[in-house]
């Protein structure tokens, strides 16, 4: 079957797609989600296979890609560094050449962005970033879809990021460029260094309460991301004042939403009162990973379809 895109399109960074393409993806997500909720079979990817490579742990990403691929009529294969030759030093270029001759699309969760970039350069088929140290584009795809479901367009709104300048934060910064919303970022002293150089416009606040002021959405993430566990004790001290709690939520807009990509640590980056409270949309956010990624798989494999 001919490929819909002349050369494979990859999804490695949030800015890989234009705003127009995101509008298309969100419309497709709504359509795919509606059908799924009505138990209507939709199998556009029959006989297609997704390879999922995990070099770090996952619950949501594995589940949403694996279930999503099955629900679209295709198959998903799980590979980890623990049980494949990748863990024994096979060059990533060789792995890319082999895997992309046997599968139709690949999702990778790894450490350095450089690894996934090298894989993509040697792949015959589309490659999706399922999280790197630098970015987590599928997460923000789901988050913006979730915001739109609740509040409409995110353009011109204000998003407050409280905490670490990590992969999720830097993906938000790219999304702000694409969609034209304001980012308020507050990190502990020294941790602003992780903010992507050359990222679009954002305002940095030393005081997290000031960052949250007037925000339509408040969001955060763990203080210690995967791969940084050795810094855990130091980070717990440094981030103690960067908790999303009821006081911080009160400085945001009354109708502000709270998001967290999960997994969360109640009592660290967020209180139970906030994450389990009425402003939190974290369960919708997690569920929407499934729906947006099904639209993403369909787009990368079939191009634009009518439905
Ligand atoms: N949010 C997210 O990507 O979760 P997992 O690490 O469980 O995949
Ligand atoms: N920033 C976190 C996100 C987990 C989904 C990490 O990289 O561990």
Atom of ligand 2 nearest to the CA of 58: 5
Q: At what angle do helices 282-302 and 60-71 cross, to 10 degrees?
A: 50
Task: Assess whether 243 and 154 both reside in one domain.
Answer: yes
| Arithmetic mean of pLDDT over the chain | 96
Confidence of residue 83 (pLDDT cuts 50, 70, 90): confident
Torsion angle (degrees, nearest 10) of CA 16, 132, 283, 277: -110
Packing angle between helix 113-121 and helix 92-102, nearest 10 degrees? 50
Candidates 102, 103, 133; CA nearest to 117 is: 133
Q: Give the DSSP letter of residue 304.
A: S
The verdict on the CB of residue 288 being under 6 Å from ligand 2 is no
pLDDT at 2: 45
Q: Is the pLDDT of residue 3 over 80?
A: no
3-state secondary structure of 164: coil
Strands (E), 198-263: 203-204, 217-220, 257-260
Q: What is the best residue among 140, 225, 229 to mutate for testing ligand 2's pocket, by most ligand atoms within 8 Å of CB?
A: 225
Per DSSP (E only), the strands in the chain are 49-54, 75-80, 105-109, 127-129, 158-162, 182-186, 203-204, 217-220, 257-260
Tell whether 145 is covered by a domain. yes
The response to whether residue 225 sits with its C-beta less than 6 Å from ligand 2 reads yes
Number of domains in the chain: 2
206 and 120 housed in the same domain: no
Q: What is the pLDDT of residues 133-168, one digit of tens each?
A: 999 999 999 999 999 999 999 999 999 999 999 999
Q: Is the CB of 61 under 6 A from ligand 1?
A: yes
Residues 114 and 204 in one domain: no
Residues β-bridged to residue 266: 270
Whether 217 is in a domain gets the answer yes
State whether 172 and 103 are in the same domain.
no
Record the tokens describing residue 211, joined without a space.
């960052």
Q: How far is CA 247 from CA 43, 48, 145, 215, 251, in A?
A: 47, 49, 27, 14, 7
pLDDT at 4: 66
Q: Is residue 152 part of a domain?
A: yes
**C-alpha–C-alpha distance, residues 230 and 137, integer Å:** 25
Coil, helix or strand at residue 132: coil
263-273 pLDDT, tens digit each: 999 999 999 99
Judge if 277 and 293 occupy the same domain. no
Q: Is the pLDDT of residue 290 over 50?
A: yes
Q: Is residue 269 part of a domain?
A: yes
Residues 123 and 217 reside in one and the same domain:
no
Each residue's pLDDT tens digit, 7-51: 899 999 999 999 999 999 999 999 999 999 999 999 999 999 999
Confidence of residue 82 (pLDDT cuts 50, 70, 90): confident
What does DSSP assign to residue 250? H
Identify the band that residue 110 occupies on the pLDDT scale cut at 50, 70 and 90. very high
Catalytic residue among 136, 184, 235, 260: 136
pLDDT over threshold 60, residue 1: no
Spatial separation of the C-alpha atoms in residues 60 and 74, rounded to whole Å: 19
Q: What angle do CA 216, 149, 221 make, to 5 degrees?
A: 55
> Same structural domain for residues 190 and 100?
no
The pLDDT score that the predictor gives to residue 84 is: 86
103 within some domain:
yes
Q: pLDDT band for position 87 (50/70/90)?
A: confident
Q: Is 109 a catalytic residue?
A: yes
Q: How far apart are CA 176 and CA 157, in angstroms?
A: 10
Residue 301 scores a pLDDT above 50: yes
Residue 257: name the closest of 240, 266, 244 by CA.
244
Which atom of ligand 1 sits closest to the CA of residue 63? Answer: 8
Q: What is the pLDDT of residue 214?
A: 97
The model's pTM: 0.97
Q: Is residue 3 part of a domain?
A: no
> Are 168 and 222 in the same domain?
yes
Residues 161 and 272 in one domain: yes
- Same domain as 130, residue 20: yes
- Let me know whether 151 and 231 are in one domain: yes
Token duo for residue 13: 């960074």
Same domain, 162 and 276: yes
Q: 257, 216 in Cβ contact below 8 A?
A: yes
Q: Which residues contact 72 (CB under 8 A, 6 or more apart)?
A: 42, 43, 44, 45, 48, 294, 297, 298
Domain range spanning residue 65? 14-136+287-302
Measured from the CA of 56, which atom of ligand 2 is nearest? Answer: 8
In a domain, 307, yes or no: no
What CATH number has the domain bearing residue 240?
3.40.50.1370
Ligand 2 and 251: CB distance under 6 A = no
Residue 2 maps to a domain: no
């Amino acid at each position: 079957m001919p490929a819909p895109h002349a050369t494979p399109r990859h999804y490695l960074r949030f800015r890989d797609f234009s705003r127009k393409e995101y509008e298309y993806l969100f419309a497709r997500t709504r359509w795919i989600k509606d059908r799924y909720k009505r138990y209507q079979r939709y199998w556009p990817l029959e006989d297609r296979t997704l390879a999922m490579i995990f070099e770090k742990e996952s619950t949501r990403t594995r589940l949403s890609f694996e279930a999503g691929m099955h629900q679209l009529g295709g198959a998903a294969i799980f590979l980890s560094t623990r049980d494949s030759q990748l863990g024994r030093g096979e060059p990533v270029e060789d792995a890319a050449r082999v895997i992309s001759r046997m599968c139709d699309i690949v999702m990778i969760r790894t450490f350095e962005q450089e690894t996934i970039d090298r894989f993509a350069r040697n792949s015959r088929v589309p490659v999706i970033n399922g999280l790197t140290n630098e970015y987590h584009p599928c997460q923000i795809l789901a988050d913006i879809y979730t915001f739109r479901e609740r509040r409409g367009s995110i353009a011109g709104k204000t998003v407050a990021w409280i905490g670490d300048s990590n992969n999720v934060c830097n993906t938000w910064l790219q999304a702000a460029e694409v969609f034209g919303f304001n980012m308020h970022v507050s990190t502990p002293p020294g941790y602003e260094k992780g903010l992507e150089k050359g990222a679009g416009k954002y305002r940095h606040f030393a005081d997290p309460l000031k960052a949250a002021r007037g925000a339509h959405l408040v969001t955060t993430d763990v203080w210690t991301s995967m791969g940084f566990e050795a810094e855990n004790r130091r980070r717990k001290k440094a981030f103690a004042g960067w908790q999303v709690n009821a006081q911080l939520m009160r400085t945001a807009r009354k109708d502000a939403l709270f998001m967290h990509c999960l997994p969360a640590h109640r009592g660290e980056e967020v209180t139970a009162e906030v994450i389990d409270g009425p402003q939190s949309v974290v369960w919708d956010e997690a569920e929407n990973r499934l729906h947006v990624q099904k639209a993403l798989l369909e787009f990368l494999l079939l191009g634009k379809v009518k439905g």
